[in-house]
Amino acid sequence: MTVTAGAAPARNAGRGKATRTTLGRALNEGLRQAMRDDDRVVLLGEDIASLGGVFRVTDGLAAEFGDRVVDTPLAESGIIGTAIGLALRGYRPVCEIQFDGFVYPAFDQIVSQLAKMRARSRGLLSLPVTIRIPVGGGIGAVEHHSESNEAYFCHTAGLRVVACSHPQDAHDMLRAAIACDDPVIFYEPKRRYWDKAEVDLGRPVDSDTLERAHVLREGTDVTVVAYGPTVALALNAAEVAASEGRSLEVLDLRSLSPLDTTELCRSAAKTGRVVVVHEAPVNVGLGAEIAATVMRHCFYDLRAPVERVGGYNIPYPPARAEDDYLPDLDRVLDAVDRVSAP
Amino acid sequence: MSSGTDDVLQLVDLSGNLNEQRAAGLLDVTGQLVRGLYRDMVLGRRFDQEAYSLQRQGELGLWLMSLGQEAAQVGSIRALRADDRVFPSYREHVAALCRGVSPTELLSQWRGTSHGAWDPERYHFHIYSLVLATQTLHAVGYAMGVRYDRSDSVVFACFGDGASSQGDANEALNWAAVTSAPIVFFCQNNGWAISTPASKQYARPLRARAQGFGLDAVSVDGNDVLAVYAATRSMAERIRAGGAPGFIEAHTYRMSGHSTSDDPKRYRDNDELARWQANDPVERVRLLLKARDWADEDYFATVAADAEELAERTRQECRALPEPSLSDTFRTTLHEETVALRREREGYETFKESFL
């Protein structure tokens, strides 16, 4: 993959210095830079222009880029369908789906059209469309506003599916996604939008950033695999476990499809014990794929069955019950205990 | 059935009489124009017939017949400019031939050697869309791009009466209207969505629905190639000049089944078919050419011979279509093959080669 994000020297003059900002602002800056660097980048979504999106991720972009920020009709299939048409015309649309649970009306356009048109045209057509989806629960929202639907899209060939977990990656991965000539489902952990960290907004983006998992904390006893909103939880669990004398390695998957099997297996082989943590229901979730992958490649290195911690196999509950539904510190540490049993 | 009323534009009646008064101001009807349209229709029909035969001989997995819709397709496509972008549905074979798509490229999908064999850029004709109405949204997005580019080309989205019930079609009409996209929606209302009649698709005329969305909408006799030509050209020119998006409902009829898999005798009666056979779009133009003395027997013989030649070529080339390779599908799934995909492809190839 050829990625030029953040690489244009003139654009990055004066950059390279870390600034403390939120994940939401890092995304906003990523969009701004992408639009400055390439006038074929256009944004489509509901309420993204004057309001700046319900999470304000597109704040100020309409003022700078005018009609390249499109307040669309309230029609999710239309957002993706027209993005496909724009891409066929040579543009690089970035779509905002307002909430995870609102992506279903666009499901056909994503899985049957966007994902397959390249193979269907024998490689003649490329659709560089990025679909940003605020994902997950934990913000006390009403129904359809807290879903984790990554498994549907990971199951579809022709899509890349990624999830950012912290401000630096939010910026870098979004730039890489927009620069990518393939369709990318880009998950933004909505309860982390306000998390702050030091971010280098001018950092060149690795050309393979959309395919690589990162070890965020080294450890020797158990690998905790997480992505998106559960990465912070995994890091917290590692901190607490350390105080109890247990060394957890935290792997941020980043790319959900394809999986970075190399990094996953390297870590699993090293610790011999794996716990996968995601918000989506465990049944036929991404954790099952990860467990199967580890079992297939690291069978003789494993010292315990792979454990999964995720949502229960029920619809996402009302907000006042979500704390019991979502993986939390106790459930993660309980799973760590299970895989650590001699 | 279409008629010559004020609501439905008709320029040539079933006996081949040209309504000169209505045609005046819409288009200059010349022998050369009508001969060209006639030839395209005859060749398109012959091609369709040959493809049907090939399916019956087991050479195609499926075929969706276009018999009866030649005027709607030829009249509309010939009225467009070469750089106007067409987004077809899946029955636009005659339209595709008019755009230069080869018989082989057209048959590949139905033989099972590809999911779309032609280069849309080359012909300004997108590959077929099999999920109904999805392409109407692609067309609107493309038209937004045309607007960004400040081009004066027009986008032409084909769909059918059945597809009009899909959410995507309605989202597309609305979206186009609110963005003033440079697009013409072209609905070939052939009366049937497989076995469901148009009367079960909508309670109000489609034209009225389009008008309700804010589009400039007209109805034409879809079996009258000159009426379709005139309506398409005037709408495209109006949009080129900055006018609102348009909608054309062409009333036509699918004289065959939906596909080679259904039996139309199970859901429609012979009287209806007979009425529409008497309203054959090709025959009407033949009568016009003869009445005006715009074509002699030699001309008709030449067109017939060209049609036979096309059929022969279609037959030969269909059987010679190369078998697809699964490796190619691996290689074209993503723009740049990921490590995971490459490993899977290599695994497949190694396994396959182990049998040689």
Q: How far is A113 from chain B (nearest CA, A)?
A: 8
Nearest to A109 among B134, B142, B333 (CB): B134
Tell me the percentage of chain A whose pLDDT exceeds 90. 92
The overall average pLDDT reported for chain B is 96
A75–B175 CB contact, under 8 Å:
yes
Is the CB of residue A292 less than 8 Å away from at least one CB of chain B?
Answer: no
Identify whether the C-beta of residue B16 lies closer than 8 Å to the C-beta of residue B287: yes
Torsion angle, alpha carbons of A79, A84, A88, A94, to 10? 60
Query: Does the pLDDT value for residue B232 go beyond 80?
Result: yes
pLDDT for A6 equals: 37
Is the CB of residue A113 less than 8 Å away from at least one CB of chain B?
Answer: yes
A73–B178 CB contact, under 8 Å:
yes
A78–B129 CB contact, under 8 Å:
no
Mean pLDDT of A48-54: 97
DSSP state letters, B167-231: HHHHHHHHHHHHHT-SEEEEEEE-SEETTEEGGGT-SS-HHHHHHHHT-EEEEEETT-HHHHHHH
Q: Which residues of A touch B141 (CB under 8 A)?
A: 81-89, 93
Query: Does the pLDDT value for residue B5 go beyond 70?
Result: no
B340–A259 CB contact, under 8 Å:
yes
Is the CB of residue A259 less than 8 Å away from at least one CB of chain B?
Answer: yes
pLDDT for A262 equals: 96
Mean pLDDT of B95-114: 97
Identify whether the C-beta of residue A189 lies closer than 8 Å to the C-beta of residue A136: yes
Q: How far is B325 from chain A (nearest CA, A)?
A: 11
Establish whether the linkage from the previous residue to A258 is cis, with ω within 30° of 0: yes
Q: Which residue has the higher pLDDT, B282 or A204?
A: B282
Mean pLDDT of A66-75: 98
A85–B334 CB contact, under 8 Å:
no
| pTM for this predicted structure | 0.95
Nearest to B340 among A116, A182, A258 (CB): A258
Q: Which pLDDT tens digit goes with each residue over A105-139?
A: 999 999 999 999 999 999 999 999 999 999 999 99
Q: How far is A329 from chain B (nearest CA, A)?
A: 32
A82–B137 CB contact, under 8 Å:
yes
Is the CB of residue A84 less than 8 Å away from at least one CB of chain B?
Answer: yes
Q: Which pLDDT tens digit goes with each residue over B152-172?
A: 999 999 999 999 999 999 999
If pLDDT is split at 50, 70 and 90, which confidence band does A28 have? very high
Strands B183-189 and B155-160: parallel
A81–B336 CB contact, under 8 Å:
no
Q: How far is A268 from chain B (nearest CA, A)?
A: 18
Query: Does the pLDDT value for residue B35 go beyond 60?
Result: yes
Is the CB of residue A86 less than 8 Å away from at least one CB of chain B?
Answer: yes
If pLDDT is split at 50, 70 and 90, which confidence band does A10 have? very low
Q: How far is A194 from chain B (nearest CA, A)?
A: 32
Query: Does the pLDDT value for residue A95 go beyond 80?
Result: yes
Structural element, H or E, at residue A336: helix A329-340
pLDDT for A15 equals: 52
If pLDDT is split at 50, 70 and 90, which confidence band does A17 have? confident
A182–B335 CB contact, under 8 Å:
yes
The per-type count for chain A, helices as H runs and strands as E runs, is 12, 14
Q: What is the ipTM of this complex?
A: 0.95
B143–A87 CB contact, under 8 Å:
no
Mean pLDDT of B293-297: 97
Q: Match 């492809």 to its residue by tokens.
A: B345
Q: How far apart are CA A46 and CA A184, in angstroms?
A: 19
Q: How far apart are CA A211 and CA B345, in angstroms?
A: 17
Q: Which pLDDT tens digit goes with each residue over A154-163?
A: 999 999 999 9
If pLDDT is split at 50, 70 and 90, which confidence band does A338 have? very high
Q: How far apart are CA B4 and CA B10, in angstroms?
A: 5
Nearest to B134 among A72, A81, A261 (CB): A81
If pLDDT is split at 50, 70 and 90, which confidence band does A171 have? very high
The sign of the CA dihedral B205, B209, B210, B212 is: positive
If pLDDT is split at 50, 70 and 90, which confidence band does A203 have? confident
Query: Does the pLDDT value for residue A22 go beyond 60?
Result: yes
B127–A81 CB contact, under 8 Å:
no
Nearest to B141 among A1, A81, A180 (CB): A81
Q: How far apart are CA B97 and CA B74, in angstroms?
A: 9
pLDDT for A108 equals: 98
B329–A82 CB contact, under 8 Å:
no
Mean pLDDT of A159-184: 97
Q: Which pLDDT tens digit goes with each residue over B186-198?
A: 999 999 999 999 9
What six digits make up the tokens of B258? 């939906």
* CA B117 to chain CA mean position, Å: 16
Locate the chain A residue with the closest alpha carbon to B173.
A78
Residue A145 annotated to the active site: yes
Count the Cβ atoms, other than its own, within 10 Å of residue B43: 22
E strand segments, chain A: 18-22, 41-45, 69-71, 92-96, 130-135, 160-163, 184-189, 196-200, 214-217, 222-226, 248-252, 255-257, 274-281, 307-311
Structural element, H or E, at residue B281: helix B281-291
Chain A, window 119-138: residues with a beta carbon less than 8 angstroms from a chain B beta carbon: 119-126, 128
CA angle at A33 for the pair A32 and A37, rounded to the nearest 5°:
120
Locate the chain B residue with the closest alpha carbon to A2.
B336
pLDDT for A207 equals: 72
Which residues have C-beta within 8 Å of that of residue A292, sequence separation ≥ 6?
none
Interface probe, candidates A79, A88, A126, A207, chain B, greatest B C-beta count within 10 A? A88
Q: Which residues of B97-126 are buried (b: 16+ CB within 10 A; e: fewer)?
A: bbbebbbbbbbbbbbeebbbbbebeebbbb
Q: Which residues of B touch A1 (CB under 8 A)?
A: 335-336
B137–A72 CB contact, under 8 Å:
no
Query: Does the pLDDT value for residue B323 go beyond 80?
Result: yes
Mean pLDDT of A88-98: 98
Q: Which residues of B touch A182 (CB under 8 A)?
A: 334-336
Q: Which residues of B44-65 are buried (b: 16+ CB within 10 A; e: fewer)?
A: bbbbbbbbbebbeeebbeebbb
Residues of B with CB under 8 A from a CB of A: 114-117, 119-121, 126-127, 129, 131, 134, 136-146, 148-149, 167-168, 171-172, 174-175, 178, 328-329, 331-336, 338-341
Q: Which residues of A touch B88 (CB under 8 A)?
A: none
Which residues have C-beta within 8 Å of that of residue A318, sequence separation ≥ 6?
A143
What six digits make up the tokens of B309? 């030649």
Q: Which pLDDT tens digit goes with each residue over B296-311?
A: 999 999 999 999 999 9
The sign of the CA dihedral A258, A262, A264, A268 is: positive
If pLDDT is split at 50, 70 and 90, which confidence band does A12 have? very low
